[in-house]
Amino acid sequence: MKSGRKNVEAKAVEAAGEQAPSRLQAELAGRILHLLKERGAGPGHHLVELDLCQQFGVSRTPIRGALKLLAAQGAVEARANRGFVLLGPVKAAPQIEAANVQDEEDKQLFVAIAEARNLGRLPAACTQQEMVRLFGAKLSTVGRVLRQLSEMGLGERKPGNGWSFIASSNSASALAEAYAFRQVLEPAIVLRPGFQLDREWAQACRARHLAFQRKAWRTPLAVEFFEMNSDFHETLARCSGNRYMLSAVQRQNRLHTFLNYHWVHGTERVQSSITEHLAILDALEAGDNHKASELMQGHLTSSQAA
């Protein structure tokens, strides 16, 4: 990659206008690099936005933001009528930190919005100013969080300055149906003939879980926990090589984002979930996919009972 680069935040803001990259854009940038490394892509490789949207189950907006961030990093370059192309072989896929988004203030607002939606205190449609008054948050913070919710498919801007949110899926019947579906789907994913564990990801995933396990729980960590949990289930689905299985898991993650940001199951369930994830990884790394399938079934059953 190019040397003598400007710092990440300054270049990302320059590339994307006045807005710093969102958490989702930064995460996608790292995942795009990882995908390119996996595929052995070389200089001049054309990155197709639509393909990346389908690969990661997101809209064009966050993909475009991620590509601009990678351009600011010197990994890719925008070319007239060709979109973005890779400048050199990807030897490593480092984590790219999002600027101004990982702070406690934004995470607290994520959790507050999730709680308000789940408890019926936040209507399905409102304005930014109404959210400022309701949550006592800064307008800039509300704007950043709403932008991320939009990128995640959890909300959308209405004409004018209003916003609408997806319906919450926290009714007992909806949750029962969701877990019944997942208990059929996810244990089967690791048994697919084409399933191939991404061992580099598995090592990084294990380290992330162990690091999180050592943290003293506080409410804003619900955001990080949900993202770690989503990445675990989604990446295993991606390892199946089946796009429909991947799409189904991604949709389940999006539907339950609000529910999981408003974490009410206590720290014991957090620790148990991490332990269960690690056991599944142990089985997969040992090549015992049938055991991993049984452990996944137990994990989902425990999660439903929590």
Same domain, 108 and 49: no
pLDDT at residue 101, as a whole number: 43
Confirm whether 234 is domain-assigned.
yes
175 CB neighbour count, 10 Å cutoff: 14
Same domain, 296 and 199: yes
Confirm whether 1 is domain-assigned.
no
Confirm whether 3 is domain-assigned.
no
Confirm whether 94 is domain-assigned.
no
Confirm whether 68 is domain-assigned.
yes
Of 86, 114, 129, the residue that ends a domain is: 86
pTM passes above 0.75: no
Report the domain count for the chain: 3
CB 94 within 8 A of CB 129: no
> How, if at all, do strands 155-157 and 162-165 pair?
antiparallel
Phi (first) and psi of residue 72, to 5 degrees: -65, -30
pLDDT at residue 209, as a whole number: 92
- DSSP assignment letter at 78: E
Confirm whether 35 is domain-assigned.
yes
Of 144, 165, 186, the residue that ends a domain is: 165
Same domain, 76 and 117: no
Confirm whether 206 is domain-assigned.
yes
pLDDT at residue 9, as a whole number: 38
Same domain, 69 and 149: no
Looking at the predicted structure, is the pLDDT value of residue 14 above 50? no
Q: Per-residue pLDDT averaged across 170-191, rounded?
A: 84
Same domain, 81 and 148: no
CB 112 within 8 A of CB 122: no
Instruction: Give the chain's radius of gyration (CA, Å).
Output: 20
Same domain, 294 and 179: yes
Over residues 68-127, the pLDDT tens digits come to 889 888 889 988 777 899 988 887 655 544 444 446 777 778 878 877 877 778 888 888
pLDDT at residue 94, as a whole number: 54
pLDDT at residue 103, as a whole number: 63
Looking at the predicted structure, is the pLDDT value of residue 168 above 50? yes
Contacts 24+ apart (CB under 8 A), 81-86: 82/46, 83/46, 83/47, 83/48, 83/49, 84/46, 84/47, 85/44, 85/45, 85/46, 85/47, 86/36, 86/41, 86/42, 86/43, 86/44, 86/45, 86/47
**What is the span of the domain harbouring residue 246?**
172-305
Looking at the predicted structure, is the pLDDT value of residue 6 above 60? no
Report for 12-21, 185-194, 229-238, 265-274: range of highest mean pLDDT: 185-194
Average per-residue pLDDT in the chain? 80
Confirm whether 191 is domain-assigned.
yes
Q: Per-residue pLDDT averaged across 190-209, rounded?
A: 91
Same domain, 74 and 117: no
Same domain, 157 and 182: no
Sequence-separated (6 or more) residues with CB below 8 Å from residue 305: none
Same domain, 115 and 20: no
Same domain, 209 and 149: no
pLDDT at residue 38, as a whole number: 76
pLDDT at residue 100, as a whole number: 43
Of 148, 165, 182, the residue that ends a domain is: 165
pLDDT at residue 135, as a whole number: 87
CATH number at residue 141: 1.10.10.10
CATH number at residue 270: 1.20.120.530
